[in-house]
Structure 1
Amino acid sequence: MSRALFLTNDFPPRPGGIQAFVHGLAAGRPPGSVVVYAPRWSGCEDFDARRPYPVVRHPTSLMLPTRGVARRAAEVMAAYGCDTVVFGAAAPLGLLAPAMRAAGARRIVMVTHGHEAAWAGVPGARGLLARIGEHADVVTYLGEYTRRRLERVIPAGRLARLAPGVDTGAFRPGAGGREVRAALDLGERPVVVCLSRLVPRKGQDVLLRAWPLVLRAVPEAVLLIVGGGPYHRTLERLARPLGDAVRITGPVPWAALPAHLDAGDVFAMPCRTRLGGIDFEGLGIVYLEASASGLPVVAGSSGGAPDAVLPGETGVVVDGTRPREVARAVTGLLEDPERARKMGERGRDWVTREWGWDLVSARFAELLRDPAPAGT
């Protein structure tokens, strides 16, 4: 049986959408066909012990495309008899592809996310991305927005669509939201949840600036911001004047994410494009997870985020730079619970039918074994 080495910086229990994506790809492979080489992270021993495949941890929390990492990855390949390498994120570790070829990799698949598509528009980084793509058999893309950007530097014949799936068994109505509400003393108040890494692109600050307008229409509403990241202190400062109308939990365990989504009535993450167009949302898997949880979503129009919404059916797409527009969208859903409920039901049906991991796993299996697109 062919065995694939997943070489990745992004793997649970480190939280994040890329981590969940790569984990899902590994989990969908047959027994005995996967080995993961990833950095250490707090709690990784317990997490790894529950995986049905070996996880080899690098001694530090980050791997760079160095000779030392290449040497260790080659040792793992040899020890487990791997003939395929999957880079969980093409940049920057994809620069190790030539070393993996030399170590015996017959097939190399590189998974891309938003940051690789951003590299395609940056001088210098564009050249590195081109080098990475030269040594791949397949380079995946999330959707049409990222495909168009990647095609600037990677031949179209090497590109193949592979978007994340959603675990609709974990992300579902009734996944533990009542317990979260009780723990946070939210009672039956209307709750808008934003679950994401706390960075400027995600738009939590815009939600906070919009929140006084929301409260004028729905005085009991609560904004529940879930996640950790470098923007935490800024968001706490913005939230302070709003009192108990805002709760910021900080990071929560990976397994607790479905319950925190289930605690909401509406999901909102008004992401926006920043830094002259190089910082944008690649897709926004959390919108799909929220839909699977039965919530209507308010999504920003950045990058590929609109691909995760059926506008008017599963949610609303807004300009994430405009607090008033965000407030109108959120308020409209809170004031019309029946419309919100129907959007949530439509969203869960859509995600279950078209974004399930069974479909993603089948597509990924094709990319691992199909000789086309041609490689190097």
Structure 2
Amino acid sequence: MLRFRPALVYMFSCLRTAAPDSLQVGASQSAWPAFARGIRLVRSQAAGWHGVLQHVAKAGCFSNGKSEMNIFYVVAGTGGRFLCDASIRDSNLVAGLRGAGHRVAVLPVYLPFDDDGIEEASCGENEIYAGATGVWIAQRFPWFGRIPPVMRRPLDSPRILRWAAARCVPLSQRPTVEMTLEMLKGEEGIHGRTIADMARRVSLLGRPDAVVLSASLLLGLAGPLRKTLKAPVGCFFHDELRWIQGMPEEVQSRVLDMLARRSSEADFLIAPSAGEAELVSKRLRTGEQRIHVVRPGIRTEGFAPEPVAVRPPTVGYAARMSDGSGLGVLVEAFARLKRQRPLLRTLRLRVTGGALDEDSDFLEGLAARLSETGMAGDVEKHDDFSRRGRLDFLHGLSAFSVPCPSGLAWNMTAMEAMAAGIPVVEPENGGAAELVRESGGGLVYDPSDIEQYTEALRRVLEDVEGARQMGLAGRKHVLANCAVERAAAELATVCEKASACLRPQRA
């Protein structure tokens, strides 16, 4: 019994120090997640004083009683193999919410979350829910999904999941599409037992004021989490609809129908731009009044204070290095400028962002093409695409562009480039084009016209003074209007309103 004493003291101190208001329905209930973790410590039979004190500090049991939101943030991990725009958005928002005094528990599903340098804190982050390995096996062999979840949990270890991420099936292949559809079915699909187990495990962390899903393709979790936690659940829309558009027609309609059905179960929907909100409303046949526009923000510290003229001129690209993200388009424009413009014979290209196995053939073909034209030596690749690595990457760029043909719902790395005073060239069908037009921090172009894109790059690269003015305008606008504190405050407001609407139903 003595070995359990530290954990028992911790558990009951959490209850004793909880303010009465924190136990009311709809409040943050900060003591209860800590109490649940105390039970886990007792069960582990390994609860020393050091471990207990660590949990006390993280739980904030001895808080000053300030009003704050308690948010569960469910993120789809990528395993850190490539630069994911949504992951940058999520890590920034988590940092912003925590900086404002809100409690945020990051709950990764599928694969470990690339936290992009945010400080580890809060409960749940050492666990992976609905691990990709187990979900994939259950998709191939449905009988596996009927095995008790506790027996499948060893497959969710970060080491196994990172190994699996390195050997993942291409996102465009039918098995991945079918798995997405089954996960959207929620408890009605073959992964229903896994989803129910996740909801049960998450409930041990206490009752949040709101649950935020990082992607609309996680909406199969909305109903079970809402029912179990008795909290409002909402989700972000980012680039999922563009990915769905690339599916075969018959599968595309099934996924969209299921997504529309599940979105009706969510308490709030979030889009990064007005254009994306309109697209979501149109494709899912839902009213725009249900969709909140919360523009992503960035952490503004660490960017160079003043842009400088760069020689030789250098264009930067920071995104997954794939054909779908537009790297091939950029290389084509890069080659044309070097051949046709005397002032740009020394032009260089700098790329970062990682890739998946399915991108190998494309990248090998691109490398062979550059070698044949004698331009391979003018391209440099950076392997570090963490936030610190991206700050180093941006230093010394003359222009920045991610010419994704389908347009990105938003482009976090373009926003970071603007914060560094670098002019950007973005497709007019992307969400970041709104930011470019407002700020004057770059140029937009028709993504179907390679000539127009090449000309836009030429203007930025050859007109050094004009590019400097664009860079200054973009930097001023982003630093003044796009800090993550603003985005976090808007998200907290959305969550607070949703929680207030649900509160009478809880009573």
Could you state the TM-score of these two structures normalised by the residue count of structure 2? 0.64
Q: Take 1:137 and 1:302, find their aligned partners in 2: how far apart are those partners?
A: 28
1:113 aligns to what SS in structure 2? coil
Query: Is 1:158–1:373's contact at 8 Å kept on the other side of the alignment?
Result: no
Deviates more, 1:347-356 or 1:232-241: 232-241
**Counterparts of residues 152-301 of structure 1 (less than 5 Å):** 152=282, 153=284, 154-173=286-305, 188-215=311-338, 216-217=341-342, 218-229=344-355, 230=359, 231-240=362-371, 241=373, 242-250=375-383, 252-273=385-406, 280-301=407-428
| Change over 3 Å in CA distance of 1:119–1:43 after alignment to 2 | closer
| Change over 3 Å in CA distance of 1:159–1:117 after alignment to 2 | farther
Displacement after TM superposition at 1:328 (Å) = 1.8
| 2:120 pairs with one of 51, 61, 67 | 51
Match of 2:143 in 1: none
| Change over 3 Å in CA distance of 1:318–1:44 after alignment to 2 | closer
Displacement after TM superposition at 1:73 (Å) = 4.1
Query: Is 1:266–1:297's contact at 8 Å kept on the other side of the alignment?
Result: yes
Displacement after TM superposition at 1:360 (Å) = 0.5
The CA RMSD measured in Å over matched residues stands at 3.2
Match of 1:277 in 2: none
Supply the AA of the counterpart residue of 1:107: P
| 1:132 pairs with one of 239, 262, 269 | 262
Query: Is 1:190–1:220's contact at 8 Å kept on the other side of the alignment?
Result: yes
Query: Is 2:76–2:110's contact at 8 Å kept on the other side of the alignment?
Result: no
Residue correspondences, number: 359
Match of 1:309 in 2: 436
| Change over 3 Å in CA distance of 1:25–1:239 after alignment to 2 | same
| Change over 3 Å in CA distance of 1:117–1:78 after alignment to 2 | farther
Asked if 1:18 is matched to 2:86, the reply is yes
Query: Is 2:419–2:479's contact at 8 Å kept on the other side of the alignment?
Result: yes
Match of 2:103 in 1: 33
Match of 2:6 in 1: none
Asked if 1:6 is matched to 2:76, the reply is no
Unaligned runs of 5+ in 2: 1-27, 29-68, 129-155, 166-178, 184-190
Displacement after TM superposition at 1:371 (Å) = 3.6
Match of 1:114 in 2: 239
TM-superposition CA deviations, 1:307-336 (whole Å, max 9, x none): 231279211112234333222222222211
Q: Take 2:195 and 2:388, find their aligned partners in 1: how far apart are those partners?
A: 30
Asked if 1:362 is matched to 2:362, the reply is no
Supply the AA of the counterpart residue of 1:20: I
1:71 aligns to what SS in structure 2? helix
Q: Take 1:111 and 1:43, find their aligned partners in 2: how far apart are those partners?
A: 16
| Change over 3 Å in CA distance of 1:317–1:166 after alignment to 2 | same
Asked if 1:90 is matched to 2:213, the reply is no
Deviates more, 1:200-209 or 1:361-370: 200-209
Asked if 1:78 is matched to 2:204, the reply is yes
Displacement after TM superposition at 1:109 (Å) = 1.6
Unaligned runs of 5+ in 1: 179-186, 274-279
Q: Take 1:190 and 1:97, find their aligned partners in 2: how far apart are those partners?
A: 48
| 2:463 pairs with one of 321, 324, 336 | 336
Query: Is 1:174–1:262's contact at 8 Å kept on the other side of the alignment?
Result: no
Displacement after TM superposition at 1:300 (Å) = 1.6
Could you state the TM-score of these two structures normalised by the residue count of structure 1? 0.84
| Change over 3 Å in CA distance of 1:254–1:235 after alignment to 2 | farther
**Greater radius of gyration (CA):** 2
Query: Is 2:210–2:498's contact at 8 Å kept on the other side of the alignment?
Result: no
RCO higher in structure (CA 8 A, sep ≥6): 1
Q: Take 1:225 and 1:291, find their aligned partners in 2: how far apart are those partners?
A: 17
Q: Percent identity?
A: 21
Match of 1:184 in 2: none
TM-superposition CA deviations, 1:155-182 (whole Å, max 9, x none): 323211112102221344579x99xxxx
